[in-house]
A and B are shown apart, each in its own frame.
Chain A
Amino acid sequence: MTVTETRAMLAQGGDRGASGHATAPRKRRYTEDQVSLGRVVLRTLAGLVVLVVFILPYLIMFFGSVKTKAQIRSVDPTYFPTEWHWENYLNMWSTPETPLPQNMVSTIVISVFATLLVLAVALPAAYYTARFRFPFRMVFLFLVIVTQMLQPAVLTSGLFRQFAALGMIDTWSAMIFINAAFNLSFAVWIMHSFFAGIPKEVDEAAQIDGAGRLTVLFRINLPLVWPGIVTAIVFTFVACWNEFAASLVILSTAGNQPMSVALTKFVGQYETSWHYVFGVSIVAIIPVVVLFMLIEKRLVGGLTAGSVK
């Protein structure tokens, strides 16, 4: 069997395993006789309740974001906006409270570079630990689990002192390293289990065909573990995008802070610009929610692979 054939065969199998769906085409069971109409109606109603509960806070956010400051703070508030002030979405970028364009750039730069760093560091480690036995392999995997338990919040004082000594307080690079380090374990874990899911015979076949170690990794394995990599990327990116505790302590200049921290600047001691808080929130939430929704189908399979195993 040639390498390409093996790969094609496994890609099919691997994909099925990763997405967690059975081979048979999914039947829409609610149209069949075995489930009564009453039960389908009941399930749909339950689904509707769940839908409303989960969307409600974000709907309130959205409605608040198009009200004026006076409307949102009026003593007899309305549930729905009576006028739609879309200009809030323009004005929020230039307020005395925080330089929002810079906060946006800061969030993007930190998240993108931290994710790239995680990928560059976790991928080889996940591949090697899944493929080879070596001394201290378990020690290494144990270290990875320990970092999962330690979160930036509990280590803030240590991180602050260390980066202060390095002269890196209030820099993006400090936050890139911190985000990367604390999201490393999940990425290693999830990619490790995807690599472990590929039979060794695939690698051996490729090596017999004369492929080197790196060729095996990049040409043979990567296409097969692609779903795992995408899941790891999205998880890391979203976690970095929303990081709060370490940014709060490490980044002191307003322009360097990410949006999660900048948002709190709109909260004043006496009054809060809630319309801007919500406008910024909506703008910050939409991209990551879309990213997460794109991998929704993989979440079920990816989580089994990543954590349940």
Chain B
Amino acid sequence: MRALPWIAPALILIFGVVLFPAGVMFYNSTRKISLSGLDQGSVGFDNYVEVFTFPYFWPIFIRTIVWVVVVVAFTVVISLGLAQILNKAFPGRRIVRLAVIIPWAASVVMTTMVVYYGLEPYFGIINKFLVDVGLVATPEGYGWTKNPTTAFAWSIVVAIFVSLPFTTYTILAGLATVPNDTLEAARMDGAGPARTYFTVVLPQLRGALSVAVLINIINVFNSLPILRVMTGSIPGYDADTIMTMIFKYIQNQHKVDVASALSVVAFLIVIVIVAVYVKVVKPTREI
């Protein structure tokens, strides 16, 4: 009980603003809530039925998995390379390291909007560049953000871009723990740079990598702004993930009850992914 004064404020905040709303969400997912927000009684699992019988649900589900897997995989592979570059000494390294931080600090909405603008046909600067270098044949460029598939693909590019800084810095933190003697010893034993990297450095990065992947999975799954900006103006549901679908239920259809049911589903998916991941990778050996 002596602990209470120290941890009570944190407990109040966690219960009041995280766990209680989670409970409200579970409860609402079994209620019928009118467009104006009035609770009209229990409907059992009807909201879940509506979620799962929505014809676009399974495509959205699969797209969500693709979204998470592709973004996280590319992020990790590119970050490993970036960390190698930034870990080596060269003139101006500090400036490059600082530049890599920018997408981390900058708002994701803002970073996404500049890409969205760049992809606009006729006046977008990325489109102009693609036309100028001859990758796009039509002089007005291509309507990347008007077509769900290409808009989704570019969203993946943006998501990778904004996930790189955190991941790269976590790997750099891991690289800092690799003892120089070990690298020296590997060199003495005649291991080339590639062999040293895969047999000596990479295993040492296991801790840093597993945490970076875990946090990336959670963040990418819960990411809303990128897809909302890039694909939000496209009619239909061909570029949605579960997260953007929740917001469509809330904001466009004012169905808080169905949105709650889908949120519960999303929450369970996150839990399952994280549980499987933790079981397989065991990122935290001690607390």
The residues of A with any CB-CB pair to B shorter than 8 Å are 20, 28-30, 35, 40, 43-44, 46-48, 50-51, 54-55, 57-58, 60-61, 64, 72-77, 79, 117, 120-122, 124-125, 127-129, 132, 134, 136-138, 140-141, 143-144, 146-151, 153-162, 164, 177-178, 180-182, 184, 188, 238, 241-242, 244-245, 248-249, 259-260, 263-264, 267, 272, 274, 277-278, 281, 284-285, 288-289, 291-293, 296, 299-301, 303-304, 307-309
Contact = CB atoms under 8 A, between A and B. Distances in A.
10 cross-chain pairs, A with B, having the tightest CB-CB distances, nearest first: A158-B25, A181-B17, A158-B21, A128-B6, A292-B105, A43-B90, A281-B110, A242-B107, A125-B10, A304-B173
Contact of A184 (B14, B93, B103, B125): B14
Contact of A40 (B26, B90, B250): B90
B96 A50 contact: yes
B80 to A, nearest CB: 13
A263 B114 CA distance: 12
Interface size class of B (residues with CB under 8 A): 35 or more
Interface stretch (B49-57, B195-203, B255-263): B255-263
B163 interface: no
> B26, B106, B173, B263: which has the most chain A beta carbons within 10 Å?
B106
Nearest to B105: A292
Interface stretch (B64-72, B146-154, B267-275): B267-275
> DSSP class of B's interface residues: helix, strand, loop or mixed?
helix
Nearest to B270: A149
B114 A64 contact: yes
B99 interface: yes
A293 B108 CA distance: 17
Contacts of A156: 246-247, 250, 259, 263
Given A30-B90, A124-B7, A245 B211 contact: no
B237 interface: no
Nearest to B259: A157
Contacts of B14: 143-144, 147, 181, 184
B169 A150 contact: no
B21 A263 contact: no
A281 B260 contact: no
Contacts of A140: 7, 10-11
Contact of A160 (B88, B219, B250): B250
Given A150-B267, A156-B250, A293-B101, A161 B173 contact: no
B138 interface: no
Contacts of A136: 3
Contacts of B110: 61, 260, 263, 281, 284-285
A58 B105 CA distance: 12
